A = this chain, B = another copy of it.
Amino acid sequence: MKEYIKDLADTNLFSGITPNEISGLLDCVHAKLVDYEKDEFILEEGNRTYDFGIILSGRARAIKWDSTDRVIIITLLQKGSEIGVILAASLDHKSPVSVQAQEKVSILLIPFDYLLARCKKSCPCHERLLRNYINIVAEKGLLLHERMNCLLKPTVREKIMTYLMRVSCEKQSLDFVLPFNRNGMAEYLNVERSALSRELSNMKKDKVIDYNKNSFRLL
Protein backbone atom coordinates (compact mmCIF):
# COMPACT_ATOMS: atom_id res chain seq x y z
CA MET A 1 0.00 0.00 0.00
CA LYS A 2 2.95 2.28 0.65
CA GLU A 3 3.54 2.88 -3.02
CA TYR A 4 0.24 4.72 -3.37
CA ILE A 5 0.67 7.19 -0.54
CA LYS A 6 2.14 9.84 -2.76
CA ASP A 7 -0.83 9.59 -5.11
CA LEU A 8 -3.23 9.67 -2.19
CA ALA A 9 -1.81 12.98 -1.04
CA ASP A 10 -3.22 14.48 -4.24
CA THR A 11 -6.75 13.17 -3.75
CA ASN A 12 -9.64 15.19 -2.40
CA LEU A 13 -10.08 12.85 0.52
CA PHE A 14 -6.57 13.35 1.81
CA SER A 15 -6.19 16.96 0.75
CA GLY A 16 -4.30 18.94 3.37
CA ILE A 17 -2.90 15.84 5.01
CA THR A 18 0.80 15.00 4.80
CA PRO A 19 2.03 11.67 3.41
CA ASN A 20 3.30 10.83 6.86
CA GLU A 21 -0.08 11.37 8.44
CA ILE A 22 -1.80 9.51 5.62
CA SER A 23 0.30 6.50 6.37
CA GLY A 24 -0.96 6.50 9.93
CA LEU A 25 -4.52 7.19 8.93
CA LEU A 26 -4.68 4.22 6.58
CA ASP A 27 -4.23 1.86 9.51
CA CYS A 28 -6.53 3.90 11.65
CA VAL A 29 -9.44 3.62 9.16
CA HIS A 30 -8.69 0.01 8.24
CA ALA A 31 -8.10 0.79 4.59
CA LYS A 32 -7.57 -2.16 2.29
CA LEU A 33 -6.65 -2.70 -1.35
CA VAL A 34 -8.92 -4.41 -3.87
CA ASP A 35 -8.40 -5.09 -7.56
CA TYR A 36 -10.93 -5.51 -10.31
CA GLU A 37 -10.61 -6.86 -13.83
CA LYS A 38 -11.92 -5.08 -16.91
CA ASP A 39 -15.74 -5.17 -17.13
CA GLU A 40 -16.05 -6.46 -13.58
CA PHE A 41 -18.61 -4.79 -11.35
CA ILE A 42 -17.22 -2.86 -8.42
CA LEU A 43 -20.71 -2.03 -7.24
CA GLU A 44 -24.13 -3.29 -8.26
CA GLU A 45 -27.34 -1.32 -8.18
CA GLY A 46 -29.48 -2.36 -5.26
CA ASN A 47 -26.70 -4.05 -3.32
CA ARG A 48 -25.69 -2.86 0.10
CA THR A 49 -22.20 -1.63 0.86
CA TYR A 50 -20.72 -0.01 3.90
CA ASP A 51 -17.36 0.93 2.41
CA PHE A 52 -16.39 3.63 0.02
CA GLY A 53 -13.41 3.58 -2.30
CA ILE A 54 -10.84 5.65 -4.08
CA ILE A 55 -9.53 4.67 -7.47
CA LEU A 56 -5.77 4.24 -7.35
CA SER A 57 -5.43 3.26 -10.97
CA GLY A 58 -7.66 2.51 -13.92
CA ARG A 59 -10.98 3.93 -15.08
CA ALA A 60 -14.57 2.99 -14.34
CA ARG A 61 -18.07 4.23 -15.00
CA ALA A 62 -21.17 4.57 -12.88
CA ILE A 63 -24.20 3.40 -14.84
CA LYS A 64 -27.89 2.61 -14.67
CA TRP A 65 -30.09 0.75 -17.10
CA ASP A 66 -33.41 1.96 -18.40
CA SER A 67 -36.37 -0.35 -18.88
CA THR A 68 -35.19 -1.37 -22.34
CA ASP A 69 -31.79 -2.37 -20.95
CA ARG A 70 -30.08 0.55 -22.52
CA VAL A 71 -27.07 1.77 -20.59
CA ILE A 72 -27.10 5.25 -19.11
CA ILE A 73 -23.80 6.64 -17.95
CA ILE A 74 -24.10 8.60 -14.73
CA THR A 75 -20.45 9.50 -14.18
CA LEU A 76 -17.03 8.64 -15.47
CA LEU A 77 -14.52 7.73 -12.77
CA GLN A 78 -10.75 7.85 -13.00
CA LYS A 79 -7.67 7.78 -10.85
CA GLY A 80 -8.41 9.74 -7.70
CA SER A 81 -12.21 9.52 -8.10
CA GLU A 82 -14.25 8.35 -5.15
CA ILE A 83 -16.72 5.49 -5.39
CA GLY A 84 -19.77 4.93 -3.22
CA VAL A 85 -19.30 8.04 -1.14
CA ILE A 86 -22.97 8.92 -1.01
CA LEU A 87 -23.85 5.27 -0.61
CA ALA A 88 -21.57 4.64 2.36
CA ALA A 89 -22.88 7.68 4.19
CA SER A 90 -26.53 6.93 3.50
CA LEU A 91 -28.94 5.28 5.89
CA ASP A 92 -29.89 2.06 4.16
CA HIS A 93 -26.71 1.70 2.12
CA LYS A 94 -28.49 0.50 -1.00
CA SER A 95 -26.59 1.49 -4.10
CA PRO A 96 -28.42 3.72 -6.59
CA VAL A 97 -25.99 2.80 -9.37
CA SER A 98 -23.73 0.11 -10.70
CA VAL A 99 -20.04 0.82 -11.11
CA GLN A 100 -18.14 -1.09 -13.75
CA ALA A 101 -14.40 -1.24 -14.33
CA GLN A 102 -13.49 -0.14 -17.84
CA GLU A 103 -10.01 -1.57 -17.47
CA LYS A 104 -7.97 -3.12 -14.68
CA VAL A 105 -8.77 -1.06 -11.59
CA SER A 106 -7.15 -0.82 -8.15
CA ILE A 107 -9.18 0.61 -5.34
CA LEU A 108 -8.48 1.69 -1.80
CA LEU A 109 -11.47 0.60 0.27
CA ILE A 110 -12.37 2.32 3.54
CA PRO A 111 -15.20 1.24 5.84
CA PHE A 112 -17.37 4.24 6.53
CA ASP A 113 -17.69 3.42 10.22
CA TYR A 114 -13.97 3.68 10.76
CA LEU A 115 -13.96 7.01 9.04
CA LEU A 116 -16.46 8.28 11.58
CA ALA A 117 -14.85 6.63 14.57
CA ARG A 118 -12.39 9.11 16.01
CA CYS A 119 -9.11 7.32 16.38
CA LYS A 120 -7.66 6.76 19.85
CA LYS A 121 -4.81 9.12 19.15
CA SER A 122 -7.45 11.66 18.19
CA CYS A 123 -5.11 13.09 15.58
CA PRO A 124 -6.15 16.40 14.03
CA CYS A 125 -5.78 14.88 10.59
CA HIS A 126 -8.68 12.56 11.25
CA GLU A 127 -10.71 15.68 11.79
CA ARG A 128 -9.57 16.97 8.44
CA LEU A 129 -10.44 13.65 6.85
CA LEU A 130 -14.02 14.02 7.97
CA ARG A 131 -14.28 17.53 6.65
CA ASN A 132 -12.87 16.43 3.32
CA TYR A 133 -15.43 13.66 3.22
CA ILE A 134 -18.29 16.07 3.72
CA ASN A 135 -16.99 18.18 0.87
CA ILE A 136 -16.79 15.15 -1.37
CA VAL A 137 -20.33 14.01 -0.68
CA ALA A 138 -21.53 17.51 -1.43
CA GLU A 139 -19.56 17.68 -4.67
CA LYS A 140 -21.02 14.35 -5.74
CA GLY A 141 -24.44 15.84 -5.19
CA LEU A 142 -23.55 18.83 -7.34
CA LEU A 143 -22.35 16.47 -10.04
CA LEU A 144 -25.80 14.94 -10.09
CA HIS A 145 -27.29 18.37 -10.47
CA GLU A 146 -25.04 19.04 -13.45
CA ARG A 147 -26.15 15.73 -14.80
CA MET A 148 -29.76 16.71 -14.46
CA ASN A 149 -29.18 20.01 -16.21
CA CYS A 150 -28.49 17.97 -19.33
CA LEU A 151 -31.27 15.46 -18.90
CA LEU A 152 -33.88 18.12 -18.27
CA LYS A 153 -33.41 19.82 -21.61
CA PRO A 154 -36.28 19.09 -23.97
CA THR A 155 -34.35 18.68 -27.22
CA VAL A 156 -31.30 16.71 -28.22
CA ARG A 157 -29.57 19.85 -29.40
CA GLU A 158 -29.96 21.52 -26.03
CA LYS A 159 -28.71 18.47 -24.22
CA ILE A 160 -25.62 18.51 -26.39
CA MET A 161 -25.06 22.22 -25.96
CA THR A 162 -25.52 22.08 -22.21
CA TYR A 163 -22.98 19.33 -21.96
CA LEU A 164 -20.46 20.88 -24.33
CA MET A 165 -20.67 24.23 -22.62
CA ARG A 166 -20.03 22.63 -19.29
CA VAL A 167 -16.94 20.84 -20.52
CA SER A 168 -15.75 23.96 -22.28
CA CYS A 169 -16.20 25.82 -19.03
CA GLU A 170 -14.26 23.25 -17.05
CA LYS A 171 -11.44 23.14 -19.55
CA GLN A 172 -11.45 26.95 -19.81
CA SER A 173 -11.30 26.74 -23.56
CA LEU A 174 -13.53 26.60 -26.61
CA ASP A 175 -11.49 23.67 -27.87
CA PHE A 176 -11.57 20.45 -25.94
CA VAL A 177 -11.54 16.69 -26.19
CA LEU A 178 -14.40 14.65 -24.79
CA PRO A 179 -13.79 11.54 -22.70
CA PHE A 180 -16.51 9.77 -24.69
CA ASN A 181 -16.86 8.22 -28.08
CA ARG A 182 -20.18 8.77 -29.85
CA ASN A 183 -21.78 5.82 -28.18
CA GLY A 184 -20.65 6.89 -24.72
CA MET A 185 -21.77 10.43 -25.35
CA ALA A 186 -25.21 9.14 -26.34
CA GLU A 187 -25.35 7.04 -23.19
CA TYR A 188 -24.42 10.04 -21.12
CA LEU A 189 -26.97 12.36 -22.69
CA ASN A 190 -29.58 9.62 -22.73
CA VAL A 191 -30.39 9.91 -26.41
CA GLU A 192 -30.22 7.60 -29.41
CA ARG A 193 -26.77 7.37 -30.90
CA SER A 194 -28.07 8.00 -34.40
CA ALA A 195 -30.14 10.94 -33.18
CA LEU A 196 -27.00 12.33 -31.59
CA SER A 197 -24.99 11.93 -34.79
CA ARG A 198 -27.75 13.51 -36.78
CA GLU A 199 -27.98 16.52 -34.50
CA LEU A 200 -24.20 16.95 -34.32
CA SER A 201 -24.18 17.08 -38.11
CA ASN A 202 -26.89 19.71 -38.09
CA MET A 203 -25.05 21.78 -35.54
CA LYS A 204 -21.89 21.64 -37.61
CA LYS A 205 -23.89 22.67 -40.67
CA ASP A 206 -25.42 25.54 -38.65
CA LYS A 207 -21.90 26.56 -37.62
CA VAL A 208 -22.54 26.49 -33.89
CA ILE A 209 -19.92 23.83 -33.31
CA ASP A 210 -17.13 22.10 -35.14
CA TYR A 211 -15.71 18.69 -34.38
CA ASN A 212 -14.00 15.64 -35.60
CA LYS A 213 -13.92 12.48 -33.59
CA ASN A 214 -13.85 13.52 -29.95
CA SER A 215 -12.29 16.93 -30.50
CA PHE A 216 -14.87 19.68 -30.31
CA ARG A 217 -14.89 23.42 -30.75
CA LEU A 218 -17.61 25.87 -29.83
CA LEU A 219 -18.16 28.67 -32.33
Binds B, one of A16-24, A101-109, A132-140: A132-140
* Pairwise interchain contact A145-B96, C-beta atoms closer than 8 A: yes
* Pairwise interchain contact B66-A135, C-beta atoms closer than 8 A: no
| Given known A-B contacts A97-B145, A148-B144, A152-B190, A135 and B64 have beta carbons under 8 A apart | no
Bound Cα distance A55, B147 (Å): 27
Asked whether any CB of chain B lies closer than 8 Å to the CB of A154, the reply is yes
A1 to chain B, nearest CB (A): 25
Interface size on A, residues (CB 8 A): 41
Point out the residues of chain B lying under 8 angstroms from A66, CB to CB. Answer: 152-154
Closest B residue to A90 by beta carbon equals: B138
Asked whether any CB of chain B lies closer than 8 Å to the CB of A151, the reply is yes
Secondary structure of the A side of the interface? helix
Point out the residues of chain B lying under 8 angstroms from A72, CB to CB. Answer: 152
Closest B residue to A161 by beta carbon equals: B67
**Residue in A74, A88, A91, A97 whose Cβ sees the most chain B Cβ within 10 Å:** A91
Copy total for this chain: 2
* Pairwise interchain contact A137-B139, C-beta atoms closer than 8 A: no
| Given known A-B contacts A67-B154, A144-B148, A152-B66, A134 and B137 have beta carbons under 8 A apart | yes
Point out the residues of chain B lying under 8 angstroms from A147, CB to CB. Answer: 148
| Given known A-B contacts A67-B154, A89-B134, A141 and B139 have beta carbons under 8 A apart | no
Asked whether any CB of chain B lies closer than 8 Å to the CB of A149, the reply is yes
Asked whether any CB of chain B lies closer than 8 Å to the CB of A76, the reply is no
Which residue in B68, B138, B146, B154 is a CB contact (below 8 Å) of A137? B138
Chain A residues with CB under 8 Å of chain B are 64, 66-68, 72, 74, 85-91, 96-97, 116, 118, 127, 130-131, 133-135, 137-142, 144-149, 151-154, 158, 190
